[in-house]
Amino acid sequence: MPAFIAPCALLPEGWAHDVHFEVSTSGHLEKITIGGSSEGAERLRGPVLPGMPNVHSHAFQRAMAGLAEVAGNPNDSFWTWRDLMYRMVGRLSPEQMQIIARQLYIEMLKAGYTSVAEFHYVHHDVNGIPYADPAELAWRISEAASEVGIGLTLLPVLYSYSGFGSQEPNQSQRRFVNTTDSYLDLLERLKPHLAIKTAQRLGICFHSLRAVSPEQINVVLNAVHLDQPIHIHIAEQLKEVSDCLAWAGRRPLQWLYENFSIDKHWCLVHATHANSNEIAAMAHSGAVAGLCLTTEANLGDGIFPAVDYFRQGGRFGIGSDSHVSLSVVEELRWLEYGQRLRDQRRNRLYCDDQPMIGRNLYDAALSGGAQALGQCVGTLEVGKRADLLVLNGDNPYIATAKGNEILNRWLFAGSDSQICDVMVNGQWVIKNGHHAEEERSARDFTNVLKSLLA
Ligand code: ZN
């Protein structure tokens, strides 16, 4: 049985020294001993942390990351960014989708994400016609994740309308659109395939209250096995809030909570414009807020009321969403910094028994992330999947930090380059900051970018 010894590791009960891990052939943690013998065990280079789940990704958007930072008009917003995204998606082939996802997932692993929830909404060919196999593009995502060894919760998205009140979809949305029946058929096709893939599973997903009707949500929830992740974009933009008020006389989160029983299976992506009643409802329900700080900042969405939410026990995970940044460090740092900038105060996301901000952020994002992905990850304990990061113990800041100081040094004054090794499902996928497929992936990805941008 492969065995490893870490100088220190973050276990559920806290930091421990000389931690000996044994990993089963299925890739799970089989035995953990503190102060165990190092004989026959691979010695790890520095502190070991549980790998971070990424709760929100649209893989293809990595290809346009950084290209929308050009002022077009004084009112540039999410909606003008979306026009650029629609132009790119209009040309993408299945092969290109897989190459982009493969490159993205390698970059995620190097940045500390060991699993990802892929919010997958491009289903059809460039003319909006279903492929011979309607799950063609979903297979491409699943294949890309297998090739690079990242854990995957695949979330095929139901998307039918262009606005509240079942407005007809427009031409640029033709690749996304399914009926309820074609969506349920897609889930059925994917289920047996994903069940036999290592570290992969299926969830369900509604694009947003703009893109599905209440009847559709009901039909899907009644048709599927409910013990699985359910994701939805919600309350990201003020325009979405005002459109929802015009449609139903309710705000998006208010409407959702009044009409459905929202529980721990739900991941409410963004929830940026939540008022105090909605924050209380979210925290009480056990749902996970899917916070995507760098994307929300990039798109000018607003600041999620994380201090109030955290004080009430609200659960959250972090996502890289549009992939303008691929970094656990950046997402967690900007979660805290957004609250500081708004409040003009320091050290916002603490709790009474834990004043160390880095530890609070990391623990909460691990726990919420594992819940949102519905995967057996998020802590280093027996029975969990062996998904972990090794920080570089030769780095002066890491070498001289003790316990929770390691997280504060890394998250507030360090970078992704301090991650040296990454394991998923008991296999090393990053060694010394390198993935075995990264040269091939970068070459293919460069060619895809040249062709998409031509
Ligand atoms: Zn999104």
The DSSP-derived string for 223-253 is HS-SSS-EEEEES-SHHHHHHHHHHHSS-HH
- Pick from 109, 46, 50: nearest CA to 389: 50
Distance (Å, rounded) from C-alpha 259 to C-alpha 270? 19
Give me ligand 1 centre to Cα 208, in Å: 10
What is the structure's pLDDT at 88?
84
Give me ligand 1 centre to Cα 432, in Å: 31
Q: How big is the chain, counted in residues?
A: 454
What is the structure's pLDDT at 146?
98
Give me ligand 1 centre to Cα 58, in Å: 6
Q: At 446, which amino acid appears? A: T
What is the structure's pLDDT at 71?
79
The beta-carbon contacts of 301-304 under 8 Å, at least 24 apart in sequence, are: 301/78, 301/236, 301/237, 301/270, 301/272, 302/237, 302/238, 302/272, 302/273, 303/272, 303/338, 303/339, 303/341, 303/342, 304/270, 304/271, 304/272, 304/274, 304/338
- In Å, how far are 137, 161, 178, 202, 311 from 95, measured between CA atoms? 9, 27, 22, 22, 46
For tokens 């996301």, the residue is 349
C-alpha angle 328/334/335, rounded to 5°? 90
3-class secondary structure, 301:
coil
What is the structure's pLDDT at 37?
75
How would you write the pLDDT of the chain (454 residues) with one tens digit per residue?
899 999 999 999 999 999 999 999 999 999 999 997 788 999 999 999 999 999 999 999 999 998 888 877 777 777 777 877 888 888 999 999 999 999 999 999 999 999 999 999 999 999 999 999 999 999 999 999 999 999 999 999 999 999 999 999 999 899 999 999 999 999 999 999 999 999 999 999 999 999 999 999 999 999 998 899 999 999 999 999 999 999 999 999 999 999 999 999 999 999 999 999 999 999 999 999 999 999 999 999 999 999 999 999 999 999 999 999 999 999 999 999 999 999 999 999 998 899 999 999 999 999 999 999 999 999 999 999 999 999 999 999 999 999 999 999 999 999 999 999 999 999 999 999 999 999 999 999 999 999 988 8
69 CB contacts (<8 Å, ≥6 apart)?
none
Residues 146 and 197 sit within 8 Å (Cβ to Cβ): yes
Distance (Å, rounded) from C-alpha 230 to C-alpha 260? 12
Give me ligand 1 centre to Cα 40, in Å: 45
Give me ligand 1 centre to Cα 126, in Å: 21
Residues annotated catalytic, as ranges: 270, 321
- Pick from 5, 107, 14, 117: nearest CA to 379: 14
- Pick from 358, 360, 349, 365: nearest CA to 402: 358
* DSSP H or E stretch at residue 144: helix 136-148
Distance (Å, rounded) from C-alpha 451 to C-alpha 100? 12
For strand 200-202 and strand 151-158, is the pairing parallel, antiparallel, or unpaired? parallel
Burial of residue 226 (CB within 10 Å: 0-12, 13-18, 19+) is exposed
For tokens 């026009």, the residue is 83
Q: What is the CA radius of gyration of the chain?
A: 21
For strand 288-291 and strand 315-318, is the pairing parallel, antiparallel, or unpaired? parallel
Q: Which residues of 367-383 are buried (b: 16+ CB within 10 A; e: fewer)?
A: bbbbbbbbbebbbbeee
Distance (Å, rounded) from C-alpha 111 to C-alpha 6? 20
What is the structure's pLDDT at 80?
72
Residues 176 and 212 sit within 8 Å (Cβ to Cβ): no
